[in-house]
Amino acid sequence: MNEIKIFGHKNPDTDSIVSAIVLEKMEKTLGNTAVKAYRLGNVNKETKYALEYFGVNEPELLEKVEEGQKVMLVDHNGFDQSVDGIENASIVKVVDHHNIAESFKTAGPLYIVAMPYGCNSTLLAKLCKINNIDIDKTMAGLLLSAIISDTLLFNSPTCTDIDKQIAKELAKIADVDINKYGLDMLKAGTDLSDFKPEELINIDSKTYSTNGVKYQVAQVNTASIPDVLSVKEKIENAMNKFMQENSIDLYVLMITDIIENNSQIIVLGKQEIAEKAFNVKIENNTAFLEGVVSRKKQVVPYIDNVL
Ligand code: MG
Ligand code: MG
Ligand code: MG
């Protein structure tokens, strides 16, 4: 119970896994030895590629927390995306790069750092610098992988100059070519061949609640949108099932082309909200969003705006 558990969001992405690992290391270096990194779900193929490349084990799985458990949140703050039992946990620290969610609340005082960078790992790299913590080759490689992942190799509108600058410094320490390594890593994440539809929609999926409307935005990266659309009906069945089981009002699945930097969306539920948000006509449950790759900057705020 004395242990402080560190974790990112459910359906963890590379940034959530790396942020937890690096914050654990940072805390320990600063003398806080009671911390331990966890993951709230399976590690995706892209993250696996990065962990294997730099020889790091994935964190242990955490399914729920008991009342009063001390926790540190990274790469998220909304309770919809956090561990089961978070409402009664004791949040002692948050390091994040998202907006503060409606559902976020703490009973006690806390240490909170939030910066609007394209990646939480950029913020952690900065915190290491501020605290004079040496970033070794392994840590640099992991942090760089997370930045490449969250910014889609600097192509996302969420990417800032700070992300680019820190990534360059990290690539030097990690001794990798950013573009070569980055594309290989992103491509490892687009291998969807052995996913069942219900798994595919859960690789990178987040829940939001705004003004009483509960919605889900999931994203899959691909090098070929038509490949993913070839199983559109099966995907829609899985989305419908998820919506029923979780009382979701609107479900948007972004199928993102990481080469061309566009997204095709499949929308179920209150489609009129999405039509208004993106100013498109949804036909046959789908629409094409040119130049849209970021859930955080190009999708969620527009839905919230309508709501
Ligand atoms: Mg994330
Ligand atoms: Mg992130
Ligand atoms: Mg992401």
Considering every ligand atom shown, identify the ligand nearest to the alpha carbon of residue 147 and give its number: 2
274 and 233 in contact (C-beta within 8 Å)?
Answer: no
pTM score, whole prediction? 0.91
**pLDDT at residue number 291:** 96
- Say how many Å lie between the CA of residue 297 and the centre of ligand 2: 12
**From the CA of 10, how far away is ligand 1's center (Å)?**
9
Letter for the amino acid at 268? L
**146 alpha carbon, closest ligand:** 2
pLDDT of residue 192: 87
Ligand nearest to the CA of 123: 2
Query: Two tokens at 224?
Result: 């070929």
Q: Provide the pLDDT for residue 40.
A: 98
Using the mean position of ligand 1's atoms as its centre, give its distance from the Cα of residue 213 in Å.
22
* Percentage of the chain modeled with pLDDT above 90: 96
Q: For residue range 87-140, what is the model confidence (pLDDT) as tens digits?
A: 999 999 999 999 999 899 999 999 999 999 999 999 999 999 999 999 999 999
Class of domain 4-187: alpha beta
180 Cα–ligand 1 center, Å: 22
- Whole-number Å distance, alpha carbon 76 to ligand 1 midpoint, is 7
Cα(64) to ligand 3 centroid in Å equals 22
Separation of alpha carbons 148 and 193, rounded Å: 23
236 C-alpha to center of ligand 1: Å?
A: 24
CA 74 to ligand 3 center in whole angstroms = 13
- The pLDDT of residue 181 is above 90: yes
CATH superfamily of domain region 197-306:
DHHA2 domain (3.10.310.20)
* Ranges in the chain annotated CATH 3.90.1640.10: 4-187
Report pLDDT for 193: 83
Cα 96 to averaged position of ligand 2 atoms, centre (Å): 8
Q: Ligand 3: distance of its center to the CA of 149 in Å?
A: 7
252 CA distance to ligand 2 middle (Å)? 19
pLDDT (mean) for 63-78: 97
Instruction: Name the helix (H) or strand (E) containing 216.
Output: strand 213-222
Rounded distance from Cα 285 to ligand 2 centre (Å)? 28
Distance 235 CA to ligand 3 centre (A): 20
Among the bound ligands, the one closest to the CA of 7: 1
Q: Ligand nearest 221 Cα, by number?
A: 3
CATH 3.10.310.20 intervals, the chain: 197-306
Task: Give the contacts of 208 (CB within 8 A, at least 6 positions apart).
Answer: 78, 80, 101, 214, 215, 216, 217, 300, 303, 304
Residues β-bridged to residue 216: 207, 251
Over residues 1-51, the pLDDT tens digits come to: 589 999 999 999 999 999 999 999 999 999 999 999 999 999 999 999 999
* Ligand in nearest proximity to the CA of 9: 1
CA of 94 to the centre of ligand 2 (A): 13
Task: Determine the Cα–Cα distance for residues 103 and 92; give it in Å rounded to an integer.
Answer: 16
